[in-house]
């Protein structure tokens, strides 16, 4: 985003283009107002602005939730139940489709999304209550469907681990999606659950280029370290899927085969991919990021995105939003299928067992009067 600053001259106002500057360790360039904001903020150059913006600290606010399990009704998502332990994500991935959710909190999907976070410390208590209900029917629960359950603040809050402890005790199946090596901390739980087909992990890898990853997903684990995490999980008996997500036209699409080959070599047994999604505010944030970091490629990337979505930057229809349509989308699909044959990925299934589920033991059971 480029802000216009007005300075007074003797006869007229003169408009001066003042671009936002990237902040070290952050993905978004600006703190774009949410679509619900009644006012718009504008940076005014009065001569006192420092040359470099000061470091942006991360704040975490405890959030009291009424329930913790989210029920999914989207036909193009392969799970019915999910848990989001955090709102916002410190990884700062500029492409994150969850960014617009911060607008509902009265915050910006830009820098606020990656620096003003919300944690649900009572998540495990709520989960235990929901699993105890007689009406509850077990189905694999997805962790990381929205924001990463192993983002940096999990080291201190440990909410994801508490969730896993409940699921382990209840013998409830779980699927985790992350781009963090911190998942290795919970290998004791995951490996034990995996022996009964109760746990699987999806590791997201967008690029193998460390320089690109550093500016695109600045606080996430490096790509090479994620490959090592695949190897560590696989060696412990935890089935791993590599998610090439998102595939970004021009920037990362050429790496599709290399990522799949490396993931297979490190022990992944399945793979999937998702094309870049630019819903709502993400489109402008991503455009601003491109023009700041990769200005010579910006128009080409956005033009290819429009090729995917019939002339638009994004199509939210089920079945199209994740893969797009048209010649380019079909080319990516065929390349992916060919790479699967070469690597042997997706030849084995990952089972998810819901038959072992047992409700939490909350103490003595009161017998029925009838």
Order of strands, sheet of 59-62, starting from the edge strand that comes earlier in the sequence: 59-62, 116-119, 86-87
* Residues 110-144: b if buried by 16+ CB within 10 A, e if exposed: bbbbbbbbbbbbbbbebbbebbeeeeeebbbbbbb
Q: What percent of the chain has pLDDT over 70?
A: 88
Residue 49 has pLDDT above 60, yes or no: no
Would you state the structure tokens that stand for residue 311, as one six-digit string?
A: 């002339």
- The length of the chain is 370
* Residue whose pair of structure tokens reads 């003003």 in the numeric block: 116
Return all residues near 256 (Cβ < 8 A) that are at least 6 apart.
244, 247, 273, 332, 335, 336, 339
Residue 277 has pLDDT above 60, yes or no: yes
pLDDT of amino acid 16: 42
Label residue 368 by pLDDT band (50, 70, 90). very low
Cα torsion 239, 262, 205, 179 to 10°: value is: 50
pLDDT of amino acid 51: 55
pLDDT of amino acid 53: 60
Label residue 361 by pLDDT band (50, 70, 90). confident
Q: Convert the pLDDT of each residue in 150-175 to its tens digit.
A: 999 999 999 999 999 999 999 999 99
pLDDT of amino acid 180: 98
Label residue 36 by pLDDT band (50, 70, 90). confident
Provide mean pLDDT across the span 71-83: 92
59-343 in CATH: which number?
3.80.30.30
Asked if residues 256 and 336 have their Cβ atoms less than 8 Å apart, the reply is yes
Q: Convert the pLDDT of each residue in 286-315 to its tens digit.
A: 999 999 999 999 999 999 999 999 999 999
Return all residues near 7 (Cβ < 8 A) that are at least 6 apart.
13, 14, 16, 45
Q: What percent of the chain has pLDDT over 90?
A: 83
Q: Convert the pLDDT of each residue in 101-128 to its tens digit.
A: 999 999 999 999 999 999 999 999 999 9
Neighbours of 82 (CB within 10 A): 20
């Amino acid at each position: 985003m480029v802000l216009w600053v007005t300075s007074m001259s003797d006869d007229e106002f003169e408009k001066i283009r003042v671009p936002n500057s990237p902040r070290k360790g952050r993905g978004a360039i600006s703190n774009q107002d949410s679509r619900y904001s009644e006012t718009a903020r504008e940076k005014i150059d009065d001569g006192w602005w420092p040359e470099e913006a000061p470091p942006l600290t991360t704040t975490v606010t405890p959030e009291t939730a009424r329930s913790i399990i989210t029920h999914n009704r989207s036909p193009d998502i392969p799970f019915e139940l999910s848990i989001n332990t955090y709102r916002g994500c410190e990884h700062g991935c500029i492409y994150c489709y969850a960014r617009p959710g911060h607008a509902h909190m009265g915050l910006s999907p830009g820098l606020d999304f990656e620096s003003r976070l919300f944690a649900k410390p009572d998540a495990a208590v709520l989960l235990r209550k929901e699993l105890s209900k007689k009406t509850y029917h077990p189905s694999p629960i997805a962790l990381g469907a929205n924001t990463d359950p192993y983002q940096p603040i999990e080291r201190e809050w440990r909410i994801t681990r508490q969730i896993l402890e409940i699921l382990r005790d209840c013998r409830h199946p779980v699927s985790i999606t992350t781009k963090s090596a911190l998942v290795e901390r919970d290998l004791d739980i995951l490996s034990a659950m995996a022996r009964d087909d109760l746990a699987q992990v999806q590791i997201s890898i967008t690029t193998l280029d460390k320089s690109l990853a550093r500016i695109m997903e600045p606080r996430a684990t490096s790509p090479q370290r994620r490959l090592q995490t695949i190897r560590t999980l696989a060696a412990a008996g935890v089935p791993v899927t590599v998610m090439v997500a998102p595939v970004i036209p021009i920037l990362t699409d050429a790496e599709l085969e290399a990522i799949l080959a490396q993931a297979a070599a490190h022990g992944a047994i399945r793979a999937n991919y998702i094309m870049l999604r630019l819903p709502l505010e993400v489109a402008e944030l991503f455009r601003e990021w491109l023009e700041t970091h990769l200005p010579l490629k910006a128009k080409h990337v956005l033009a290819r995105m429009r090729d995917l979505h019939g002339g638009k930057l994004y199509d939210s229809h089920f079945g199209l939003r994740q893969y797009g349509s048209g010649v380019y989308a079909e080319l990516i699909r065929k390349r992916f299928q060919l790479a699967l044959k070469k690597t042997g990925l997706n030849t084995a299934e990952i089972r998810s067992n819901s038959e072992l589920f047992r409700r939490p033991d909350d103490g003595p059971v009161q017998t029925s009067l009838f």
